[in-house]
Structure 1
Amino acid sequence: MAGQWRNAQGPLFVFHDGPPYANGELHIGHALNKILKDIINRYHVSLGHRVHYIPGWDCHGLPIENKILQKLGKRPQELEPDVIRREAEAFAKQEVKVQQDQFRQFGVMADWTPESTYRTLDHDYEIRQLRIFQKMVEKGTSLLQPCSQRANSLPGLIYRHYRPVYYSPSSSSALAEAELTYNVKHVSYSVYVAFELEPDSPQMSAPLRTLIAGRKSVRLLVWTTTPWTLTANMGIAVHPEMMYKAVAASSDPTAPMDIFAVEREEALAKYPEVMSSKIPIAEFQGSDLAGSTYRPIFSSLHGPSSSSPLPIIPSRHVTSDSGTGLVHCAPAHGAEDYTVFRNLGLLSSSSSLGDLLCHVDIQGQFTEGVQDVVGEKAAHALVGKEVLGEGGKAIVGLLENAGALRKIEKIKHRYPYDWRTDKPVIVIATSQWFANIDQIKEDAIAALQDVSFTPAQSRNRLESFVRSRSEWCISRQRVWGVPIPSLHHIPSGRAVLDANSLNHILSILLEKRTAYWWTGPVEEFVPPALRDGMDAKQLAETWRKGTDTMDVWFDSGTSWSMLDDLYQHDGVQSVDGRTYGANVCLEGSDQHRGWFQSQLLTAIASAEIGKPKRAAPYGTLITHGMVLDEKSRKMSKSLGNVISPMTIINGGTNKKKDPAYGSEVLRMWVATVKFTEDIQIGPQVLANCAEALRKIRNSARFILGVLEDQPLTHKVNREQYGLAERYVMHELHKLDTTALHSYASYDFARVANALLYFANVTLSSLYLDITKDCLYANARESVERQAVVSVLERVLVTMTSVITPILPYLAEEIRTTWHGVQDNSVSAKIWVPVSAEWEDTQAESDMSELIRVRNKVRVALERARRASQLKSSLEANVILSLPKGAMQDAHGLVSLLRREEHFLKTLFIVSDVKLADGSIPTSHLGSWHYAESMPLPDREGSVEITVVPAAQSKCPRCWTFNRKEEDTLCYRCSDVLSA
Structure 2
Amino acid sequence: MCADTPDYKDTLFLPETDFPMRAGLPAREPAWLERWARIGIYDRLREKEGRAPFTLHDGPPYANGHLHIGHALNKILKDFIVRSQQMMGRDARYVPGWDCHGLPIEWKIEEQYRAKGLDKDKVDVVDFRQECRRFAEGWVDVQREEFKRLGVTGNWADPYLTMDFHAEAVIAEEFMKFLMNGCLYQGSKPVMWSPVEKTALAEAEVEYHDHQSHTIWVKFPIVSGASEALDGAQVVIWTTTPWTIPQNRAVCFGPEIGYGLYEVTATPEECWAKVGDRFILADALAESVLGSARLTSEMWTRVADVSADALGALTLAHPFRGIEGGNGEWDYDVPMLPGDHVTDDAGTGFVHTAPSHGDDDYQIGLKFNLPMTYNVLEDGSCRPDLPLFAGAVIIRPDGKEGDANRRVIDTLVEVGALIARGRLKHSYPHSWRSKAPLIYRNTPQWFAAIDHTLDDGMGTYGDTIRARALASIDQLVKWTPQSGRNRIHSMIESRPDWVLSRQRAWGVPLTCFVKTGAKPTDPDFLLKDPAVNARITAAFEAEGADAWYAPGAKERFLGNDYNAEDYTQVFDVLDVWFDSGSTHAFVLRDRADGTEDGIADLYLEGTDQHRGWFHSSMLQACGTLGRAPYRGVLTHGFTLDEKGNKMSKSLGNTIVPEEVVKQYGADILRLWVAQTDYTNDQRIGPEILKGVADSYRRLRNTMRFMLGNLAGFSEAERVAPAEMPELERWVLHRLAELDEKVRAGYDAYDFQGVFQALFNFCTVDLSAFYFDIRKDALYCDAADSATRRASRTVLDLLFQRLTTWLAPILVFTMEDVWLSRFPGDEGSVHLQDIPDTPADWRDEALAAKWAGIRQVRRVVTAALEIQRQDKVIGASLEAAPVVHVRDAEVLKALKSVDFADICITSAVQLSGDPRPQEAFRLPDVDGVGVVFEKAEGEKCGRCWKILPDVGQHAHPQTCGRCSAALG
Give how far 1:921 is off. 12
2:108 is matched with which residue: 61, 67, 71? 67
State the AA in 1 paired with 2:331.
S
Verify the 8 A CA contact 2:395 2:401 in the aligned structure 1.
no
Give how far 1:790 is off. 0.9
- Stretch of structure 1 that moved more, 30-39 or 873-882: 873-882
Q: In structure 2, what is the equivalent of residue 904 of structure 1?
A: 899
Distance in 2 separating the partners of 1:12 and 1:196: 70
Please list the CA deviations of residues 677-733 of structure 1 after superposition, one character each: whole Å capped at 9, or x if unmatched: 111111122112111121221111111111114556333132332222122111122
> Is 1:633–2:645 an aligned residue pair?
yes
Q: In structure 1, what is the equivalent of residue 374 of structure 2?
A: 358
Distance in 2 separating the partners of 1:547 and 1:970: 93
Distance in 2 separating the partners of 1:862 and 1:6: 56
Distance in 2 separating the partners of 1:708 and 1:255: 101
Give how far 1:281 is off. 3.9
Verify the 8 A CA contact 1:11 1:50 in the aligned structure 2.
yes
Q: In structure 1, what is the equivalent of residue 326 of structure 2?
A: 303
SS in structure 2 of the partner of residue 368 of structure 1: coil
Verify the 8 A CA contact 1:19 1:56 in the aligned structure 2.
yes
Q: In structure 2, what is the equivalent of residue 16 of structure 1?
A: 57
SS in structure 2 of the partner of residue 51 of structure 1: strand
Please list the CA deviations of residues 333-380 of structure 1 after superposition, one character each: whole Å capped at 9, or x if unmatched: 11211221221123xxxxxxxx42232222222332321xx3xxx658
1:513 is matched with which residue: 540, 544, 567? 544
Give how far 1:808 is off. 1.9
Give how far 1:738 is off. 0.8
Verify the 8 A CA contact 1:289 1:312 in the aligned structure 2.
no
> Is 1:451–2:484 an aligned residue pair?
no
Distance in 2 separating the partners of 1:138 and 1:66: 33
Is the alpha carbon distance of 1:933 and 1:595 closer, same or farther for their aligned partners in structure 2, counting shifts above 3 Å? closer
Q: In structure 1, what is the equivalent of residue 288 of structure 2?
A: 267
Give how far 1:459 is off. 0.3
Is the alpha carbon distance of 1:311 and 1:274 closer, same or farther for their aligned partners in structure 2, counting shifts above 3 Å? farther
Is the alpha carbon distance of 1:704 and 1:481 closer, same or farther for their aligned partners in structure 2, counting shifts above 3 Å? same
Distance in 1 separating the partners of 2:230 and 2:656: 69
> Is 1:867–2:870 an aligned residue pair?
yes
Give how far 1:231 is off. 1.1
Q: In structure 2, what is the equivalent of residue 785 of structure 1?
A: 788
Please list the CA deviations of residues 113-156 of structure 1 after superposition, one character each: whole Å capped at 9, or x if unmatched: 13xx100000001111111111111112xxxxxxxxxxxxxxxx
Distance in 2 separating the partners of 1:748 and 1:620: 17
TM-score with structure 2 length normalisation? 0.87
Distance in 1 separating the partners of 2:505 and 2:924: 81
Please list the CA deviations of residues 457-513 of structure 1 after superposition, one character each: whole Å capped at 9, or x if unmatched: 110001111112121111111111111123356666876453355344444434432
Is the alpha carbon distance of 1:194 and 1:356 closer, same or farther for their aligned partners in structure 2, counting shifts above 3 Å? same
Verify the 8 A CA contact 1:45 1:827 in the aligned structure 2.
no
> Is 1:409–2:435 an aligned residue pair?
no
Give how far 1:332 is off. 1.1
Distance in 2 separating the partners of 1:675 and 1:419: 24
Q: In structure 2, what is the equivalent of residue 324 of structure 1?
A: 348
Q: In structure 1, what is the equivalent of residue 90 of structure 2?
A: 49
Give how far 1:10 is off. 1.3
Q: In structure 1, what is the equivalent of residue 766 of structure 2?
A: 763
Q: In structure 1, what is the equivalent of residue 13 of structure 2?
A: none
Verify the 8 A CA contact 2:709 2:792 in the aligned structure 1.
yes
> Is 1:87–2:131 an aligned residue pair?
yes
- Stretch of structure 1 that moved more, 63-72 or 891-900: 891-900
> Is 1:238–2:253 an aligned residue pair?
yes
Distance in 2 separating the partners of 1:604 and 1:882: 69
Distance in 1 separating the partners of 2:508 and 2:549: 11
1:121 is matched with which residue: 152, 157, 163? 163
Give how far 1:100 is off. 0.6
Verify the 8 A CA contact 1:245 1:281 in the aligned structure 2.
yes
Distance in 2 separating the partners of 1:273 and 1:254: 13
Structure scoring higher RCO (CA < 8 A, sep ≥ 6) equals 2
1:462 is matched with which residue: 473, 481, 488? 488
Verify the 8 A CA contact 2:942 2:962 in the aligned structure 1.
no
State the AA in 2 paired with 1:196.
P
1:914-929 maps to which residues of 2 (within 5 A)?
914-916=909-911, 918=913
Q: In structure 1, what is the equivalent of residue 181 of structure 2?
A: 139
2:212 is matched with which residue: 165, 168, 187? 187
Is the alpha carbon distance of 1:558 and 1:898 closer, same or farther for their aligned partners in structure 2, counting shifts above 3 Å? same
SS in structure 1 of the partner of residue 352 of structure 2: strand
Give how far 1:771 is off. 0.8
Is the alpha carbon distance of 1:862 and 1:51 closer, same or farther for their aligned partners in structure 2, counting shifts above 3 Å? closer
Is the alpha carbon distance of 1:569 and 1:875 closer, same or farther for their aligned partners in structure 2, counting shifts above 3 Å? closer
Q: In structure 2, what is the equivalent of residue 657 of structure 1?
A: none
Verify the 8 A CA contact 1:107 1:663 in the aligned structure 2.
yes
Is the alpha carbon distance of 1:287 and 1:79 closer, same or farther for their aligned partners in structure 2, counting shifts above 3 Å? farther
1:3 is matched with which residue: 44, 50, 53? 44
> Is 1:396–2:393 an aligned residue pair?
no
Distance in 2 separating the partners of 1:427 and 1:861: 75
Distance in 2 separating the partners of 1:697 and 1:936: 32
Give how far 1:227 is off. 0.7
Distance in 1 separating the partners of 2:326 and 2:528: 43
Give how far 1:581 is off. 0.3
Q: In structure 2, what is the equivalent of residue 663 of structure 1?
A: 666
Q: In structure 2, what is the equivalent of residue 956 of structure 1?
A: 941
SS in structure 1 of the partner of residue 47 of structure 2: helix
2:153 is matched with which residue: 109, 114, 124? 109
Is the alpha carbon distance of 1:219 and 1:856 closer, same or farther for their aligned partners in structure 2, counting shifts above 3 Å? same
State the AA in 2 paired with 1:173.
T
- Stretch of structure 1 that moved more, 460-469 or 846-855: 846-855
Verify the 8 A CA contact 2:169 2:538 in the aligned structure 1.
no
Is the alpha carbon distance of 1:468 and 1:275 closer, same or farther for their aligned partners in structure 2, counting shifts above 3 Å? farther
Give how far 1:48 is off. 2.4
SS in structure 1 of the partner of residue 545 of structure 2: coil
Please list the CA deviations of residues 608-645 of structure 1 after superposition, one character each: whole Å capped at 9, or x if unmatched: xxxxxx23110010011111111111111011110011
Is the alpha carbon distance of 1:918 and 1:195 closer, same or farther for their aligned partners in structure 2, counting shifts above 3 Å? closer
Q: In structure 1, what is the equivalent of residue 335 of structure 2?
A: 312
Distance in 2 separating the partners of 1:960 and 1:248: 102
Distance in 1 separating the partners of 2:315 and 2:296: 22
State the AA in 1 paired with 2:528.
D
Is the alpha carbon distance of 1:503 and 1:875 closer, same or farther for their aligned partners in structure 2, counting shifts above 3 Å? same
2:755 is matched with which residue: 744, 752, 759? 752
Please list the CA deviations of residues 938-965 of structure 1 after superposition, one character each: whole Å capped at 9, or x if unmatched: 9xxx554222222111222112222535
Q: In structure 2, what is the equivalent of residue 257 of structure 1?
A: 278
1:247 is matched with which residue: 249, 253, 262? 262
Residue identity (%): 33
Structure 2 gaps of 5+ residues are 1-41, 267-273, 453-464
> Is 1:211–2:229 an aligned residue pair?
yes
- Stretch of structure 1 that moved more, 753-762 or 273-282: 273-282
Please list the CA deviations of residues 186-206 of structure 1 after superposition, one character each: whole Å capped at 9, or x if unmatched: 1101110112222xx3xx2xx
1:646 is matched with which residue: 658, 665, 668? 658
Please report the RMSD computed on the Cα atoms of aligned residues, expressed in angstroms: 2.8
Is the alpha carbon distance of 1:921 and 1:164 closer, same or farther for their aligned partners in structure 2, counting shifts above 3 Å? closer
1:558-707 maps to which residues of 2 (within 5 A)?
558-562=582-586, 565=589, 572=596, 579=597, 581-607=599-625, 614-650=626-662, 660-707=663-710
Verify the 8 A CA contact 2:355 2:361 in the aligned structure 1.
yes
1:290 is matched with which residue: 312, 315, 322? 312
Verify the 8 A CA contact 1:65 1:480 in the aligned structure 2.
yes
Please list the CA deviations of residues 866-893 of structure 1 after superposition, one character each: whole Å capped at 9, or x if unmatched: 222221211222223567xxxxx9x512
